[in-house]
Amino acid sequence: MKKTAIFILLLCGMATMGMAQEAPRSLSFFEPADTFHSKRFWVAAGGGAVVYGTVSIGLYRAWYKNYEQTSFHFFNDYGEWMNIDKFGHLFTAYHEARGGFLGANWAGVRHNRAVWAGVGLGMFLQGTLEMMDAYSAKWGFSLSDMAFNAGGVSVFALQEAIWKEQRITIKFSASPVVHSNNPLLSTDGRATSSPNIRADDLFGSTYAQRFLKDYNGQVLWASFNPASFLSSNPAWLPKWLNIAVGYGAENMYGGYANSWTENDAIFKLSADKYPRYRQYYLSLDVDFTRIPTKNKFLKSLLHVVNFIKVPSPTVEWSRGRLKFHSFYW
């Protein structure tokens, strides 16, 4: 999953300069400005430009430099990895939009303009990735990726337009998957591999690599805050308590099928032993932004970490049956 995990301000937000007056009073660094604050704006925009350039260059060298380049072309990868990567695009674009909005809000940009700054940031960053894909022979410009990117920024923007708050948060969780070391013979019976060797090749062998790349251990969540939908909050219902629905998939050792070539030998996993299947979850969660605190630094930190799904009791529906997890990450 090619993610940009850094939230930076949208550069085209510079067009908002001069639309309001600079904040007249001294502010805590972690306190959003009431009105437009030019110094904050330039610090955020300039820092964002540096980070964007650095991340783009690093991403190009890490992902694209060693692959053959070609002319602009399209690439249809819808359905690959059972669309876990597509929901990853939605998640990333959502939080890039949210991060851009929070940054613009910190600089005192008006609410509606800050929302558009966030939307533009999410589409701009994700569009950069797609343009890199578009000139790579291994990949290509994916319209379905861009559709999920647009879906992510729309989930953010529509909530701000309707409620001026995020009552539904897109979240992410990942847990390590133990892949089998059982020997697997090639189709001609002359070579041996295993699901774990295949996982090492696809997702990496370290915990960090598999945390980011192993789609089998990833779950994307929509986390709903019930209290925010009620006109009066019952005393028994904490304002920070959420209900989350999640989507994941299991036993994927290839984009579309569990077959691959390794050292000129062809391997195929049995669909009976390693069936590819989808997983649906219902769980409890926490909206960190609704945890009451007067500490402005802590409040800012809680906004930053609000992409994390909290481990909690979870019900899973998969392969036609229910499972209960007393503690699911």
Could you report the per-residue pLDDT of 216-247, keeping only the tens digit for each? 999 999 999 999 999 888 989 999 999 999 99
Please name the helix (run of DSSP H) or strand (run of DSSP E) that holds residue 185, with its range, or none.
strand 184-185
How far apart CA 16 and CA 8 sit, in angstroms, is: 16
pTM of the model: 0.89
321-328 vs 312-318, strand pairing mode: antiparallel
Could you report the per-residue pLDDT of 53-92, keeping only the tens digit for each? 888 888 788 778 778 999 999 999 999 999 999 999 999 9
Residue 243 corresponds to which amino acid? I
Instruction: Give the Å distances, CA to CA, from 251 to 49, 196, 282.
Output: 40, 11, 21
How far apart CA 127 and CA 297 sit, in angstroms, is: 32
Tokens of 171: 């979240």
Rg (CA), the chain: 22
Residue 312 phi/psi, 5-degree rounding, is -165, 175
Over residues 104-131, mean pLDDT: 93
Q: Is the pLDDT of residue 187 over 60?
A: yes
pLDDT of residue 25: 52
Q: Is the pLDDT of residue 272 over 70?
A: yes
How far apart CA 177 and CA 167 sit, in angstroms, is: 31
For the chain, what are the domain ranges? 1-165, 167-329
Share of the chain above pLDDT 70, in %: 92
Position with higher pLDDT, 142 vs 64:
142
CA neighbor of 227 nearest in space, from 181, 278, 174, 163 = 163
Grouping H, G, I as helix, E, B as strand and the rest as coil, residue 187 is coil
pLDDT band at 27 (very low <50, low <70, confident <90, very high): confident
Do residues 122 and 152 lie in contact, with contact meaning Cβ atoms separated by under 8 Å?
A: yes
pLDDT band at 278 (very low <50, low <70, confident <90, very high): very high
pLDDT band at 209 (very low <50, low <70, confident <90, very high): confident
CA neighbor of 277 nearest in space, from 2, 84, 1 = 84
